[in-house]
Amino acid sequence: MKSRDIWFGVVAALLLAIFFSPFASQSPDGLERVAEDQKFLEKGEGRPAVSAPVPDYVVPGVKNESVATSLAGALGVVVVFAAGYGLASLLKKRG
């Protein structure tokens, strides 16, 4: 695969994450919804064992929620790309 194609994909994913993440559903996900329906959501509340780097998909410290969500989406794209690229590089060296 050409380097140009990879960068095109990364830029496309970044643009999608930045522009469409603010429109994501505000409804709880499936597991959270079941916990609400079965009345045990509050049992899961408390201090987490590991704190999330981007809690609730909003970058902490950014006042505008749409911008904070867009930044969280962009950060997710960068992290997933870096992890995938790193793993591919390791596997390529072995093979």
pLDDT of 94? 79
pLDDT of 15? 96
pLDDT of 33? 85
Contact 69, 24 (CB under 8 A): yes
pLDDT of 69? 93
Report which DSSP code applies to 46.
Answer: S
What does each of the 95 residues of the chain score in pLDDT, given as a tens digit? 788 999 999 999 999 999 998 888 887 788 888 988 888 888 877 777 888 888 888 899 999 999 999 999 999 999 999 999 999 999 988 76
Contacts of 24 (CB under 8 A, 6+ apart): 57, 69
Domain segments of the chain as ranges: 27-94
What is d(CA 67, CA 58) in angstroms, rounded to the nearest whole number? Answer: 9
pLDDT of 48? 77
Burial 36-45 (b: 16+ CB within 10 A, else e): eeeeeeeeee
